[in-house]
Structure 1
């Protein structure tokens, strides 16, 4: 096994992978999307048997690019630094909980259990294998929903219906009357994912929302004013008083110390350590 630091220049990672020729590729979802673009452009030339994405939400658009690059749909892995693996997809690409390793409770704001197909406010996890630092009903701000279905793959473990991200991934704006309007990341996914850009990030700052577009194929194909107007309409549809939106073209969006590229950077969120 060989590890590459996601904060390295992309060209160095591509050169290292071309030299290594991995049989399996495990990457943050945002990095896997970048590598898929490199493969499609012919600069990356690897043939992994499987691609696994973890630590970030894998959007349908990113999964499609990865499948185009390597001919097979990626496997999604749900994990956190504190718990290690919590769930992953089987051969049918359905997300199974690791019920023999972690007890996962999807709960509401009062820590009460929720029925299947209901997105929770948080997750409480109890790790069954950690003896050095036991975690009992440890709170994570991830938003999940359980499924009542059983999978045809033969695994006995329960299924997740969906992973929508963390509470920190949502923006909290206000309506004209002052009420809070929570904006789910999917609002931005719908507008920004189809764009011909390598990556994007919405950064909430004191002067408004800055939409960073990383290395677009053609900046002329993305009129900033038109994109800002499209986002403004989407946010107004939710009832939000929309702050100024500034569209910026950048070489690469900022990453965390661990190399993650959060698509939403909210100014008013309760920041939790990177995991």
Structure 2
């Protein structure tokens, strides 16, 4: 993409989440390239996480009418919304508290219908690219995350990814491994497909990645044409891995990825 295509106006949904807030801040730090907006349900949480932000909107992805104004004039939509498990009962002695989802906040409501609402609203608004950040594990119906509250969260995420691919809008789907609250820019990133990195991790390394590296991937996915119409899994080598080379060439990394689910 030529520099004449910038600045790009970008809406980040799920902006008060730990990864969403990192994406927002990285984009905001480069005003010559990006005009960034955020969307979240709670103005109080926006204030707590991001401080006073005049470009943040209050909205609910389950209510399509609240997406119209935030998306007006946007070039790029970054979807970082997800259903969040909560404690739903008392644990048995010696057991962890049971987790589930509140009524109206099931993965089907948030990770499928909520994402469909965003995709359709983006289409109407003329958005040119949607970057969807999801999770690895969607090829396995028996994955432990699908068992939480019988929510099948990874299956609904995968179904939404296919909806995006079929939408006709340019897409980049980033399926991250386990998210770490650790500094970014210090590891080699590895990309794959169909959960192969999860099934057979290279050299048995942990299937995880710092949130900050995922946020950096999102930024470069807007910049690099090689990221367009690609879907991929991503993990990182451990920071201290002697075989690792810190990933800095994102065009090369995206060139290793492929279209389709």
TM-score higher than 0.5: no
Q: Which has the larger radius of gyration?
A: 1
Higher relative contact order (CA 8 A, sep 6+): 2
Q: Report which of the two has the higher share of helix.
A: 2
